[in-house]
A and B are shown apart, each in its own frame.
Chain A
Amino acid sequence: MDDASIGWVGLGLSLILVGVAVGLSLWQGLRLEREMLWATGRALVQLLATGYVLVFVIDEDTPIAWAWAWVVVMVGVAALTARRRAPEVPGIALLTLAATSASAAISLFVVFGLGIYPMVGRAVVPIAGMMIGNSIGSIVVASRRILAELAERRPEVEARLALGQPWQQASKPFVRSALRTALTSQIENTKAVGLVFLPGAMTGLILAGADPVEAVLVQAAIMYLILGAVATNVVIIGLGLTRHLFTPDHRLVRLARGDT
């Protein structure tokens, strides 16, 4: 495992590449230098803090409850992150909270309940982290697409409502299209894995000296988990957000775009 340790010197040397990025930004007048340096510093601080807490959380002597508490915090942070990334989506924080909680409960039950991984802090935290982290992007895409579809297609939605369709039926074609868009990128990622890119978990394991085939098995299981979690999230967001955008008497609320 020592081969995988880069130490502070290695980390410092890797900053050369940040320097390259900053240099390119300056050369091309992109004005992203400050942003890059801020992101670099912030990522390091966040990861270091996480690393030190993880040392405690995944210690074999630490009760597993701490690992689950960590998962709860991640769900909360996911909700806040989704709200920051898509502030125009009404109620997105609560919806994300509900969706990630449900998908985490289902997926983690499969992983640990069926004994795919042993239920220890070392497994709970990174697996939940990968699932929740990957879910945020899909949640944001799905909710934005639903909002845009219903705003742009308002005349068609209202024509369906005017025919006496309930909101669930009147919105279905548009919500379905938005959910397909949100899920497609995850499906494409799953298809491309190994051919186009080597995903993080597998790369990390190989760098840490694990047998590549073992690393592949771990990665494949994680990809399937992520796919399941993303699908669960997207569908929950689809149902929850659409419910939010219609009144109980089957009217489409006013939306930012497409209103007349």
Chain B
Amino acid sequence: MSDPTDAPLFELDGVSLVIDGTTILDGIDLEIPARGITVLLGPSGAGKSMLLRLLNRLEVPTAGEVRFRGRPVQEIDPLELRRRVGMVFQRPTPFPGTVRENLLVAEPGATEDEMARVLRAARLDPEFLDRDADELSGGEAQRMCLARTLLTRPEVLLMDEPTSALDPEARRGLERTAQRIARRGRPMVWVTHDLEQAQRLADEVVVLVGGRVATPEQRARYLAGEWSGGNGAAGDAPAGTADAAGSGEGEAGTPGRGGEGGEAGG
């Protein structure tokens, strides 16, 4: 029997997503490993966030199949799936009330100790429990949202550009927190269009362009910071890439790690 952590966390087979006649994702074949931080990288409009939303079934694919730990997600109760696959959104979404009340939304029976534990894991002082969630700074609010998600004891965290609304200092702080959480055995799928952030965070990188997994050429250009802009849809993609996109090169590749690729920042 092989190590269960070697089995992919998520598998996507020929996944397409069409919304109101617009193709958002087109024939995605992808495996996301069950360890570390996998970064979904790509220009705005490449379909990264939508791909993430397929993983906890906030969206359902028009075609293809998404599997979580080998099981098609549509066979898992969506409420159970979402507690096992936690998600932090692009903008902090504090609910009305105190931090404690926010945490209790996630887990109504949570004890003070459990709430303090998740706040510490998100690098927030437990004294924040009685603070009004609406009065937190952007960084604090996003940490509270992370703590709220952690309270459901998810097996994996989906992070949808969680630092895009934060100042640089808060951004780096949240990144370090995420790395710590991932090192402690909770894998993460992190969406960003920020190449430097991907290089700081990623154990694996998947580059998406125009709703498809990037071809090796597109990937090399993107990681080298040579992408000319645009999401790769329609005229953006280099000629001849259309057939290559769904051809199985979607296994997450090894990126430049932890600041090694600084010269590539574009």
A-side residues, CB < 8 A to B, are 155-156, 158-166, 173, 249-251, 254
Cβ-closest chain B residue relative to A248: B78
- Shortest CB–CB separation between residue A162 and chain B, in angstroms? 4
For residue B87, which residues in chain A have a CB less than 8 angstroms away from its CB? 162
CB of A250 within 8 A of CB of B19, answer: no
A254 to B19, CA, bound (A): 9
List 20 A-B residue pairs with CB atoms under 8 Å apart, sorted by A's residue number. Answer: A156-B93, A158-B58, A159-B93, A159-B95, A160-B95, A161-B58, A161-B82, A162-B82, A162-B87, A163-B82, A163-B83, A163-B86, A163-B106, A164-B79, A164-B82, A165-B79, A166-B79, A249-B74, A251-B58, A251-B78
- Shortest CB–CB separation between residue B170 and chain A, in angstroms? 19
For residue A159, which residues in chain B have a CB less than 8 angstroms away from its CB? 89, 93, 95, 145
For residue B79, which residues in chain A have a CB less than 8 angstroms away from its CB? 164-166, 250
CB of B93 within 8 A of CB of A249, answer: no
Among A158, A162, A164, A251, the one with the most B-chain Cβ atoms within 10 Å of its Cβ is A162
| In the assembled complex, B148 has its CB within 8 A of some CB on chain A | yes
| In the assembled complex, B57 has its CB within 8 A of some CB on chain A | yes
A155 to B106, CA, bound (A): 16
Cβ-closest chain B residue relative to A160: B105
Cβ-closest chain B residue relative to A169: B105
| In the assembled complex, B263 has its CB within 8 A of some CB on chain A | no
CB of B58 within 8 A of CB of A164, answer: no
Cβ-closest chain B residue relative to A157: B93
For residue B89, which residues in chain A have a CB less than 8 angstroms away from its CB? 155, 158-159, 162
A165 to B95, CA, bound (A): 14
- Shortest CB–CB separation between residue A249 and chain B, in angstroms? 5
For residue B95, which residues in chain A have a CB less than 8 angstroms away from its CB? 156, 159-160, 173
Task: Tell me which residues from 122 to 165 in chain B have a Cβ below 8 Å from any Cβ of chain A.
Answer: 145, 148-149, 152
- Shortest CB–CB separation between residue B79 and chain A, in angstroms? 5
| In the assembled complex, B20 has its CB within 8 A of some CB on chain A | yes
Among A161, A163, A250, the one with the most B-chain Cβ atoms within 10 Å of its Cβ is A163
Interface 1/0 per residue, B83-118 and A, CB below 8 Å = 100110101010110000000011000000000000
A206 to B75, CA, bound (A): 67
Leading 10 A-B pairs by shortest Cβ distance: A164-B83, A159-B93, A162-B87, A164-B82, A249-B78, A163-B106, A164-B79, A156-B93, A155-B93, A250-B78
Cβ-closest chain B residue relative to A252: B58
A38 to B106, CA, bound (A): 56
- Shortest CB–CB separation between residue A174 and chain B, in angstroms? 11
